[in-house]
């Protein structure tokens, strides 16, 4: 067992770090005034494959493995979690389900523009009465002679304000137990974007409600087979969890680095506060949890790359990374004292950004459920 | 076909250097490496030559002499678009000064790349900053060289180079094979290095390993030892103490600025070459 | 071939009024010659260079080797390197020093390679040790590391010297020196590099690398618009403006202004630093700044620790305050 990253993963990290430090870091605080990302920044990211991380090269992507993918999301999130969110959602729950379940024709039609960053992906499941419980979904798909007509409202859709290709989870109008995922393009009549949410964190990401009013789509815009909705949704979430875990890890790492630097330079009682045991304990706890998070994350990613089951491991990674992000950013603010509560310092933003990682792509409670179910169904 | 050789040095990433603030020393051996910025500009120039249809077919070989970990910058070069990467590494090459480094690179090019048309180097690496390896390599190969290029273009089977040297703006020309060293960034920013595309990294590693050559493969003498053969010897390396016991001013801006000019006006005015009033504002306080 | 020890200084006169590095090296060579019991010699190549020869004698050269020939009218690194190597082989100096101008840094490595001897770049000090060897002190990492280097066996011991390192001797009209004309060798190779045009074109009035006062700004300046204030101050106090990496990448100023590992190294007498946190990539490039005034809201910023005077203040407000103060205090 080798715990050192291979040279490829090391180079991926340096590559992304260089771009993130040069092009994103100095704009992150301004982006946080939100919502939306600077167009020129997105333009720079497009040819570098940030929008086609795991998309195969013949569809215009980078063809990265999952560990590389996790590293990319971590490093982008380390400077801007909101942009990291855009990237991970677009790649994992926007593109990946089409790659996994789409027909060859659907892949050919939808994936290249997405991988090129020309069409941003979104996945919408959550509704006013349906979150962790997908059974509560009320968006309906009515079968017609030409295809389907969608009606319903989705809320808290990440990338909602800028999405071009939307995967919509909906139930059949005749049989509410039958769910499917439909591909809707943003120019489809009947589709509209609601107000951008005024959120606590991730403020650069235009999270929004999406409306579908008699939104007619052709039959071949049903992803995979009719009735595969739940399967696609759960697979998307498994993959999405790796991305959110990586995002949470990036936030934690950033908060940790700032804390170490601050603790070394901040003087109180005529010495750097890093000399105080309390601060040392904080830093040690942060380091341990971040390291543990990273190992859990890479294990889940490696399992996925090997084609082995990774659902429970992804849930563990997501649970631990997001808990760590909340804990580490909280301590980071504490270490910074009053400055940490001020927008002058980035840890304030990290603190706000971290919380939601415990909520979206399956709350921490849901992750525990997934993990427990895995434990209890294992042969003794 | 034009065969372009780009010489690339891996340098320690200064931002990652583990400094000991107490002793002011740094542990260079544990630092992460990166592609020398000026070599990266040389590679960028090569890539632009290759992308220009007027150049005809171009093949780019990136070569580095260094420890095994320097392989990384060659993968990076391949990720950016170099066709091939070659690492010259051998314990016998350790401790080479610029003279020996040029000799080793020269041996590689002479023995293994007889079709070389153009050699591109960074003018000056960010770590040792000698600007010597490029000219010495040209000397070793007995080919013409032009240093500090700001702009280069292939012309009539040779190469035309624009450069700014000691306040002289010069345009020079030479036949190939020849060597050009690339200057730092200038206003026009023609050779600002591109970012590495992620797909490029994946492709660079999928394309197989970097060609690694030791002294024997290269054709160096069995007895060769770069440290012994280097004419220069380093006696001592140290970090000058940079942290100062400076004076910290706080409070109202006007008051701080007045203190600055009252107490340090002489230093400021002498640097400016102009006379400044000091202590004229005492009554304001 | 002389039995006496000689210290040679290759005469770089092309941009004479701008760069006085040759005179500066002659001064130091004179010191070294005392310690080493050697003779300071200048080596001059060119066409009609009598004036320069006289100047070098007045500044400490006891002997001047001169190759005066129309063939040498323009600086050509190949011809000059060939000729210098030929002269060294013939007269065998102990030490050969060259100014670290760009041309000097082009010719010196080629000569060193032709002679199979060592060369230390951009030295900031030279000494003779107790064994009579030349100790060459050279910085790296933008001055964050200093190396002391010797060339134990190979001769001559060669170094390029950073301009501005040593003080030139006063011009001495009464000084005398021996002029040794050396004709152009018959076997000079034809130059392979053709110089199509060469025009004197100083980069603006002054360059940031050599400016006496530099103002650097970081993200703490707030915005592109506010950053412009630094140029107002620069004009007022005759300074050059530099910037940190985030500022350059944000497009507030061009890459030309980047001060740091990947940009310019500066060595001003006075540095004003506004809203710069002090990442090592940046501070590595200003290790030679003599007096530093830093402004930052955060008293713990690394840049503030490097400062001689640190003002804990908003960079923008402080900049305005300093502009006002200079205007009030300047005597016309």
In a domain, C186, yes or no: no
Left if phi > 0, otherwise alpha if psi is -120 to 50, otherwise beta: which for C328? Answer: alpha
Q: Is the pLDDT of residue C199 over 80?
A: yes
Do C106 and C245 lie in a common domain?
Answer: no
A230-377 folds as Butyryl-CoA Dehydrogenase, subunit A; domain 3 (1.20.140)
Measured CA angle at C306 (ends A349, C295), to 5 deg: 55
In a domain, C43, yes or no: yes
So what's the pLDDT on residue B177? 96
In a domain, C190, yes or no: no
Q: Is the pLDDT of residue B251 over 50?
A: yes
User: Residue C33 and residue A290: Cα distance in Å, rounded?
Assistant: 62
- Of the CA atoms within 13 Å of residue B123, those in its CB half-sphere come to 18
The domain made up of A121-228 is a member of CATH 2.40.110.10: yes
pTM comes to 0.87
Q: How confident is the model at residue C17 (pLDDT cuts 50, 70, 90)?
A: low
* Three-class secondary structure of residue A181 per DSSP: strand
Do C12 and C117 lie in a common domain?
Answer: yes
User: How many domains, in total, are found in chain C?
Assistant: 2
Minimal CA–CA distance to A322: which of A369, A284, A371, A360? A360
Closest-approach residue (CA) in chain C for B256: C311
User: Which of C298 and A194 is assigned the larger pLDDT?
Assistant: A194
Q: How confident is the model at residue B241 (pLDDT cuts 50, 70, 90)?
A: low
Digit-coded pLDDT (tens) for B61-86? 999 999 999 999 999 999 999 999 99
Q: Where are the domains of chain B?
A: 2-229, 253-284
Do C145 and C94 lie in a common domain?
Answer: yes
Digit-coded pLDDT (tens) for C103-117? 999 999 999 999 999
Say if C143 is an interface residue toward chain B (CB within 8 Å).
Answer: yes
Say if B72 is an interface residue toward chain A (CB within 8 Å).
Answer: yes
Report the run of H or E that residue B25 belongs to, with start and end: strand B25-26
Last residue of one domain, picked from the residues C165, C181, C197 = C181
What does pLDDT average to over chain B?
Answer: 88
Strands B58-65 and B2-7: parallel
Residues of chain C contacting B273 with CB distance shorter than 8 Å = 212, 238
Greatest mean pLDDT among A288-292, B258-262, C139-143: A288-292
User: Residue A10 and residue B10: Cα distance in Å, rounded?
Assistant: 15
Q: Is the pLDDT of residue B267 over 60?
A: yes
**Per the CB < 8 Å rule, is B72 touching A49?**
no
Do C142 and C98 lie in a common domain?
Answer: yes
User: Residue B57 and residue B80: Cα distance in Å, rounded?
Assistant: 17
For domain B2-229, the CATH superfamily is HUPs (3.40.50.620)
Across the range B20-31, mean pLDDT stands at 51
Task: Please confirm, yes or no, whether A313 is among the known catalytic residues.
Answer: no
Boundaries of domain holding C234: 213-329
Closest-approach residue (CA) in chain A for B205: A8
Minimal CA–CA distance to A85: which of A218, A234, A248? A248
**Least trusted range by pLDDT, from A20-34, B39-53, C255-269:** C255-269
**Per the CB < 8 Å rule, is A26 touching C302?**
no
Say if A15 is an interface residue toward chain B (CB within 8 Å).
Answer: yes
Q: Is the pLDDT of residue C206 over 80?
A: no
Residues of chain B contacting C330 with CB distance shorter than 8 Å = 274-277
In a domain, C154, yes or no: yes
So what's the pLDDT on residue C184? 94
User: Which of C287 and A82 is assigned the larger pLDDT?
Assistant: A82
User: Residue B76 and residue B182: Cα distance in Å, rounded?
Assistant: 19
- Tell me the two tokens of residue C24: 């500066």
Q: Is the pLDDT of residue B281 over 60?
A: no
What Rg, from alpha-carbon coordinates, does chain C have? 23
Digit-coded pLDDT (tens) for C146-172? 889 999 999 999 999 988 788 899 999
Q: Is the pLDDT of residue B280 over 60?
A: no
Range(s) within chain A of domains with CATH label 1.10.540.10: 7-119
- Positions in chain A short of pLDDT 50: none
Percent residues over pLDDT 70 in chain C:
94
Look up the CATH number of domain A7-119. Answer: 1.10.540.10
The answer to whether A106 and A114 have CB atoms below 8 angstroms apart is no
**Per the CB < 8 Å rule, is B146 touching C193?**
yes
SS in 3 state form for chain C? CCCCEEEEEECCCCCCCCCCHHHHHHHHHHHHHHHHCEEEEEEEEECCCHHHHHHHHHCCCCEEEEEECHHHCCCCHHHHHHHHHHHHHHHCCCEEEEECCHHHHHHHHHHHHHHCCCEEEEECEEEECCCCCEEEEEEECCCCEEEEEECCCCCCEEEEECCCCCCCCCCCCCCCCEEEECCCCCCCCCCCEEEEEEEECCCCCCCCCCCCEEEEECHHHCCHHHHCHHHHHHHHHCCEEEECHHHHHCCCCCHHHEECCCCECCCCCEEEEECCCCCHHHHHHHCCCCEEEEEECCCCCHHHHHCCEEEECCHHHHHHHHHHHHHHHECC
CATH number at residue C240: 3.40.50.1220
So what's the pLDDT on residue C26? 96
Q: How confident is the model at residue B184 (pLDDT cuts 50, 70, 90)?
A: confident
Do C19 and C133 lie in a common domain?
Answer: yes
Say if C147 is an interface residue toward chain B (CB within 8 Å).
Answer: yes
So what's the pLDDT on residue B22? 45
* ipTM above threshold 0.85: yes
Q: How confident is the model at residue C261 (pLDDT cuts 50, 70, 90)?
A: low
Q: How confident is the model at residue B282 (pLDDT cuts 50, 70, 90)?
A: very low
Closest-approach residue (CA) in chain A for C247: A26
Percent residues over pLDDT 90 in chain C:
63
Range(s) within chain A of domains with CATH label 1.20.140.10: 230-377
Which residues lie closer than 8 Å to A98 by C-beta, 6 or more apart?
A: A106, A107, A110, A111, A114, A167, A183, A223
Digit-coded pLDDT (tens) for C24-80? 999 999 999 998 899 999 999 999 999 999 999 999 999 999 999 999 998 999 999
Minimal CA–CA distance to B113: which of B179, B170, B15? B179
CATH number at residue C82: 3.40.50.620
**Per the CB < 8 Å rule, is A26 touching C300?**
no
So what's the pLDDT on residue C253? 84
**Per the CB < 8 Å rule, is B202 touching A63?**
yes
Touching B: which chains, 3+ CB pairs < 8 A?
A, C
Q: Is the pLDDT of residue B25 over 60?
A: no
Closest-approach residue (CA) in chain C for B170: C198
**Per the CB < 8 Å rule, is C249 touching A262?**
no
Minimal CA–CA distance to A217: which of A267, A165, A175? A165
Closest in B168, B238, B243 to C305, CB measured? B243
């Amino acid at each position: 067992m080798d715990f050192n990253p291979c040279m490829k993963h090391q180079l991926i990290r340096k590559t992304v770090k260089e771009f993130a430090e040069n092009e994103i870091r100095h704009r992150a605080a301004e982006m946080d005034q939100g919502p939306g990302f600077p167009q020129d920044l997105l333009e720079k990211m497009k040819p570098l494959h940030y929008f086609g991380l795991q998309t195969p090269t013949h569809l215009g992507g980078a063809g990265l493995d999952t560990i590389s993918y996790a590293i990319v999301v971590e490093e982008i999130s380390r400077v801007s979690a909101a942009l990291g969110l855009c990237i991970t959602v677009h790649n994992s729950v926007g593109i990946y389900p089409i790659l996994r379940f789409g027909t060859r024709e659907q892949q050919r039609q939808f994936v290249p523009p997405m991988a090129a960053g020309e069409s941003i992906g979104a996945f919408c499941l959550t509704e006013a009465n349906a979150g962790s419980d997908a059974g509560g979904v009320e968006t309906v798909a009515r079968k017609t002679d030409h295809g389907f007509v969608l009606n319903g409202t989705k809320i808290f859709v990440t990338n909602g304000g800028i999405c071009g290709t939307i995967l919509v989870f909906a139930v059949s109008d005749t049989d509410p137990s039958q769910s499917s995922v439909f591909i809707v393009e943003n120019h489809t009549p009947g589709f509209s974007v609601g107000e951008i949410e005024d959120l606590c964190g991730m403020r650069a990401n235009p999270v929004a409600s999406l409306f579908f009013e008699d939104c007619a789509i052709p039959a071949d815009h049903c992803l995979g087979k009719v009735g595969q909705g739940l399967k696609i949704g759960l697979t998307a979430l498994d993959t999405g969890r790796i991305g959110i875990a990586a995002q949470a890890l990036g936030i934690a790492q950033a908060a940790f680095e700032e804390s170490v630097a601050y603790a070394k330079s901040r003087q109180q009682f005529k010495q750097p506060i890093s000399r105080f045991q309390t601060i040392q304990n904080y830093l040690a706890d942060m380091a341990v949890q971040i390291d543990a998070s990273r190992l859990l994350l890479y294990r889940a990613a490696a399992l996925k790359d090997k084609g082995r089951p990774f659902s429970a491991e992804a849930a563990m990674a997501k649970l631990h990374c997001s808990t760590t992000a909340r804990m580490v950013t909280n301590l980071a603010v504490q270490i910074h004292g009053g400055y940490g509560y001020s927008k002058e310092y980035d840890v304030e933003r990290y603190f706000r950004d971290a919380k939601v990682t415990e909520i979206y792509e399956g709350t921490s409670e849901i992750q525990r459920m997934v993990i427990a179910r895995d434990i209890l169904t294992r042969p003794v | 076909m034009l065969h372009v050789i780009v010489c690339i040095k891996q340098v320690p990433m200064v931002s990652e250097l583990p400094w000991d603030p107490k002793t002011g020393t740094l542990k260079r051996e544990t630092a992460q490496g990166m592609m020398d910025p000026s070599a990266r500009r040389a590679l960028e120039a090569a890539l632009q030559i290759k992308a220009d249809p007027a150049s005809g077919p171009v093949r780019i070989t990136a070569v580095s002499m260094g420890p095994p970990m320097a392989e990384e910058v060659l993968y990076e070069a391949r990720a950016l678009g170099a066709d091939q990467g070659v690492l010259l590494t051998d314990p016998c090459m350790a401790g080479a000064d610029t003279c020996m480094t040029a000799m080793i690179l020269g041996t590689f090019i002479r023995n293994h790349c007889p079709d070389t048309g153009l050699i591109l180097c960074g003018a000056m690496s960010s770590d040792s900053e000698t600007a010597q390896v490029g000219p010495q390599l040209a000397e070793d190969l007995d080919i013409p060289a032009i240093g500090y290029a700001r702009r280069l273009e292939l012309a009539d089977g040779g190469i035309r180079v624009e450069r700014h040297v000691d306040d002289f703006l010069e345009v020079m020309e030479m036949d190939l094979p020849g060597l050009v060293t690339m200057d730092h960034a200038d206003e026009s920013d023609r050779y600002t290095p591109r970012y590495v595309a992620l797909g490029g990294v994946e492709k660079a590693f999928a394309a197989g390993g970097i060609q690694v050559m030791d002294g024997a493969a290269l054709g160096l003498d069995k007895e060769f030892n770069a440290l012994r053969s280097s004419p220069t010897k380093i006696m001592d390396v140290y970090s000058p103490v940079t942290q100062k016991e400076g004076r910290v001013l706080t409070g109202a801006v006007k008051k701080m600025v007045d203190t600055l000019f009252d107490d340090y006006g002489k230093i400021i005015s002498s640097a400016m070459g102009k006379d400044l009033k000091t202590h004229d504002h005492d009554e304001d306080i | 071939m002389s039995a006496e020890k000689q210290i040679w200084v290759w005469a770089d006169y092309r941009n004479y009024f701008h760069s006085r590095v040759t005179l500066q090296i002659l001064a130091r060579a004179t010191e070294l010659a005392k310690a080493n019991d050697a003779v300071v010699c200048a080596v001059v190549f060119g066409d009609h260079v009598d004036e320069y020869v006289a100047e070098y004698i007045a500044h400490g050269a006891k002997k001047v080797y001169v190759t005066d020939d129309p063939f040498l009218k323009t600086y050509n690194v190949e011809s000059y390197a060939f000729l210098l190597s030929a002269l060294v082989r013939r007269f065998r100096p102990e030490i050969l020093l060259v100014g670290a101008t760009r041309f000097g840094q082009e010719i010196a490595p080629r000569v060193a390679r032709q002679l199979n001897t060592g060369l230390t770049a951009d030295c900031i000090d030279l000494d003779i040790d107790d064994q009579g060897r030349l100790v060459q002190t050279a910085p790296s990492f933008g001055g964050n590391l200093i190396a002391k280097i010797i060339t134990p066996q190979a001769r001559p011991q060669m170094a390029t010297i950073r301009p501005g390192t040593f003080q030139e001797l006063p011009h001495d009209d009464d000084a005398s020196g021996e002029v040794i004309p050396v004709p152009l060798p018959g076997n000079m190779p034809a130059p392979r590099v053709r110089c199509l045009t060469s025009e004197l074109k100083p980069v603006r009035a002054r360059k940031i690398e050599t400016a006496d006062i530099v103002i650097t700004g970081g993200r703490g300046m707030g915005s592109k618009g506010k950053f412009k204030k630094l140029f107002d101050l620069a004009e007022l106090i005759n300074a050059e403006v530099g910037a940190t990496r985030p500022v350059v990448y944000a497009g507030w100023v061009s890459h030309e202004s980047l001060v740091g590992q990947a940009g310019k190294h500066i060595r001003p007498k006075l540095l004003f630093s506004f809203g710069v946190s002090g990442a090592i990539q940046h501070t590595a490039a200003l290790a030679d700044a003599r007096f530093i005034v830093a402004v930052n809201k955060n008293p713990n910023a690394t840049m503030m620790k490097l400062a001689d005077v640190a003002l804990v203040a908003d960079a923008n407000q402080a900049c305005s305050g300093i502009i006002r103060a200079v205007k009030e205090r300047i005597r016309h």
